[in-house]
């Protein structure tokens, strides 16, 4: 099995991906969606939010940093700002991992139970510079569940330097690779020249936990949606 790779000119990437999302939501308005945060999806969210009706959709936020509420890197706040605040009609339900739960392991099990009720119709992901998916860092097995994770050094630095966290987080919570790989459809978004090398490795390195994104090559319905800068 080999993963599909679609490449768009940089200036057209966001429109193309938003257009694909529009078609998906027209066919499946009550979709159960797993959505990421980060720099990559932001332009897609800006295009898609005003033009797609998400009123029947159920959304699962992919991951969360264990940081104080309101920290600029918190994924719940970023999803609200980049996407939810731009919608005319709010989605039917938005689920987010609660980084303040008294027992974070229990919270991850609760969340995975919600996903498993009916699975995910579409999971949209960014590609971490170290090959992570969500916060499934290198070393994550394909069967890994939704769980608390110790963050890789590069992820901790990115939380502070790129996403503005007040302190480097040590822990995160993430939907596991198992529910991601069980999703009926997966779109991996990859943009910008700083992702060229990891995209190449993701497509050509041996499939395995050293590079969690490589597992998508075994998914029956996954596609990489890259801009020309990332495709190199
Ligand atoms: P980015 O993050 O979209 O901000 O590059 C992707 C990731 O680290 O998963």
Three-class HEC string of 108-168: HHHHHHHHHHHCCCEEEEECCCCCCECCECCCCCCCCCCEEEECCHHHHHHHHHCCCCCCC
Q: Residues near ligand 1 with C-beta < 6 Å?
A: 38-40, 126, 128, 132
Rounded to the nearest angstrom, the distance between the alpha carbon of 195 and the centre of ligand 1 is 10
Token reading at 83: 């996407």
Domains, the chain, with CATH or none? 4-231 (3.40.50.1360)
Residues that are catalytic:
63, 130, 132, 137
- By alpha-carbon position, which residue is closest to atom 7 of ligand 1? 128
Digit-by-digit pLDDT tens for the chain (232 residues) are 689 999 999 999 999 999 999 999 999 999 999 999 999 999 999 999 999 999 999 999 999 999 999 999 999 999 999 999 999 999 999 999 999 999 999 999 999 999 999 999 999 999 999 999 999 999 999 999 999 999 999 999 999 999 999 999 999 999 999 999 999 999 999 999 999 999 999 999 999 999 999 999 999 999 999 999 999 8
* Ligand 1 pocket mutation, candidates 13, 34, 38, criterion most atoms within 8 A of CB: 38
Rounded to the nearest angstrom, the distance between the alpha carbon of 34 and the centre of ligand 1 is 15
Q: What span, in angstroms and rounded, lies between the C-alpha atoms of 210 and 229?
A: 25
């Amino acid at each position: 099995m080999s993963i599909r790779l679609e490449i768009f000119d940089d200036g057209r990437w966001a429109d193309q991906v938003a257009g694909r999302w529009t078609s998906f939501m027209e066919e499946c308005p009550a979709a159960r969606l797993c959505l990421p945060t980060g720099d990559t999806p932001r332009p897609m969210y800006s295009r898609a939010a005003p033009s797609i009706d998400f009123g029947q959709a159920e959304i699962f936020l992919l991951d969360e940093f264990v940081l104080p509420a309101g920290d600029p890197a918190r994924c719940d706040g970023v999803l609200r700002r980049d996407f939810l605040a731009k919608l005319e009609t709010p989605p039917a339900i938005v689920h987010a991992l609660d980084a303040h739960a008294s027992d974070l392991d229990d919270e991850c099990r609760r969340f995975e139970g919600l996903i498993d009720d009916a699975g995910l119709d579409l999971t949209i992901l960014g590609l971490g510079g170290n090959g992570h998916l969500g916060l499934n860092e290198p070393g994550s097995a394909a069967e890994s569940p939704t769980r608390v994770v110790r963050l890789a050094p590069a992820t901790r630095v990115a939380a502070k330097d790129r996403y503005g966290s007040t302190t480097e987080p040590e822990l995160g919570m993430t939907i596991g690779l198992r529910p991601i790989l069980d999703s009926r459809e997966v779109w991996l978004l990859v943009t910008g020249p700083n992702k060229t090398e990891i995209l190449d490795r993701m497509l050509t390195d041996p499939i395995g936990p050293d590079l969690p994104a490589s597992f998508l090559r075994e998914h029956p319905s996954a596609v990489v949606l890259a801009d020309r800068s990332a495709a190199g």
